[in-house]
Amino acid sequence: MTIQVDDAGWGDPVGGVFLGVFRVDTNEYVVKEIEVVHFQEPNFDNKTFLARGLELVLEAFNCLGVTLDEPIQVCRGVVLDGVREGLNAKGYEVIPTKIEGQLQELVEANFVESLRQMGIRDIPRVSGKERFFRQLEWIQDDLEHRERYAKTGWKNWPTKLRNWRPKWRRKHRASLKPPIIIKLGGSVISDKTQRSTPRIETIQQLISEIVAIESHPVVVIHGGGSFGHFLAKDYQLRKGGRSQEKKIGVTKTASEMTRLGHLIHGAFLKTGRPAVPIRSSSIIVAIDGRISHMDLQALREFLRQRFIPILSGDVVADTVRGFTIVSGDQIAMYLARLLHSKQVVFATDVDGLYSADPKEHPDAKRIDLITPDTLDVIFNEIAVGASSEAADVTEGMRGKLDEIFKGLPDDCEVLITDIRQPGTLEKIIHGRPVPATHLRQHS
Ligand code: IP8
């Protein structure tokens, strides 16, 4: 009986290469996949796919009980060089050939189905230009997370394919500047001493300043303030959990965050500037308290259409803890990296960090610049002589700055300042000096 071996996916930029083994007379069929890592560096250069292909075909032969007296028709493709050589060496009668018909269709269909399962929609069944570019487009939509599924070992991956954009998108994207990210601190937009108490006037003031910057795309993220933190603490949500009681805590917190979000969105509505809430818990998944995935497709699309996306710190799904709290700070820095932002502004009710509380100590000095190298020295100075309540605040602030530095890209600057003063944001965008504490990776 004749055995056929064919491949699919060799010319496709996403996924591994599928190998189908088919006994023509009985229609028995086994399919295997040479995993995509064999098409990435350093494996691709070392052609590890050749040995892996042979290994998989022999596994399939084992399943089908192929014997040495069965002629083996093997497709002529390069990916099967190792299979042809290896089978020859083992004494099989190998006939290099062009495989068409049933096997070709089966293995192509299996490969295309695997692309669909990865989430690539509208993928043509037949290989060719359209299928190829559809895959590149899919990768481009979330390069950060999807590049690992690509055959990045191809010579033209780094030079051409990695940055490929369809023409219509190229035009669109070229005109899109990286957004400025503005984090509204929870203690500015709410009274943190009273449960779920908003500072409506301050919110309106902040939003009016934000909408005044028209020259630049903006993303707004707000903290939880007294809407999120009381409940998060009551139910110890950061730690996660599985109990019904905790899940009710998640439900209440999510509901309160919706209320706060509604107030912020309402303030945008009054200004007449298009803004759209994007629920953080719908686009983020965490692993053990840290963001591991953020689906930015909708956010990017809204930004392109000049909406202001509004996100917040939130209670989100966590694959280790069940759920957790991710702060607006963590989200801001994660977004800054993904969206290549050059400026992130943390809006507070003072124009920066001071050596002591400036409301109580008029001689307190503002710290103009902090880098990772100066962080320890500055915090030691602040901690000396701080009251125990102030020490708590200092400790909280240290955690905040550690979070910021953890995610701060080299070419991005964070400013901690009060943006309510008219024109402050405009100055920041144009690189003009404003009273603020600046955070940078290098001085
Ligand atoms: O105020 C926390 O966000 P943050 C959000 O930015 C919740 O830390 C739900 C407490």
Asked if residue 329 has its Cβ within 6 Å of ligand 1, the reply is yes
Residue 140 binned pLDDT confidence (cut-offs 50, 70, 90): confident
Answer yes or no: is the C-beta of 325 below 6 A from any ligand 1 atom: yes
- What is the topology classification, in CATH, of domain 180-439? Carbamate kinase (3.40.1160)
Residue with CA at minimum distance from ligand 1 atom 1: 223
Q: What is the pLDDT of residue 271?
A: 94
Predicted confidence (pLDDT) per residue in 201-242, tens digit:
999 999 999 999 988 899 999 999 999 999 999 999 999 999
Class at the top of the CATH hierarchy for domain 3-168: alpha beta
Q: Which neighbouring-strand residues pair with 30?
A: 21
Give distance in angstroms: CA of 262 to centre of ligand 1.
16
Q: Is 224 in the pocket of ligand 1 (CB under 6 A)?
A: yes
| Cα-to-centroid distance, 257 and ligand 1 (Å) | 9
Nearest ligand 1 atom to the CA of 328 is 6
Query: Does the pLDDT at position 399 exceed 90?
Result: no
Threshold 0.85, pTM exceeds: no
Structure tokens at 325: 């709290």
Q: What atom of ligand 1 comes closest to residue 331's alpha carbon?
A: 6
- Please give the helix or strand (H or E) that residue 17 lies within, else none: strand 17-23
Where exactly are the structural domains of the chain?
3-168, 180-439
Between the CA of 221 and the centroid of ligand 1 the distance, in Å, is 10
With contact defined as beta carbons under 8 Å apart, do 10 and 78 qualify?
Answer: yes
Residues 6 or more apart in contact with residue 151 via CB below 8 angstroms: 12, 13, 14, 36, 39, 40, 44, 157
Residues in the chain: 443
pLDDT bin (cut points 50, 70, 90) of residue 124 is confident
3-state secondary structure of 384: coil
**Would you say residue 387 has pLDDT above 60?**
no
Mutate which of 251, 290, 314, 397 for ligand 1 pocket (most atoms within 8 A of beta carbon): 314
d(CA 212, CA 218): 11
Q: In this structure, are residues 231 and 246 in contact, taking their beta carbons and an 8 Å threshold?
A: no
* Ligand 1 pocket mutation, candidates 190, 222, 326, 327, criterion most atoms within 8 A of CB: 327
Contact 50, 162 (CB under 8 A): no
DSSP assignment of 328-358 equals HHHHHHHHHHHTT-SEEEEE-SSSS-BSS-T
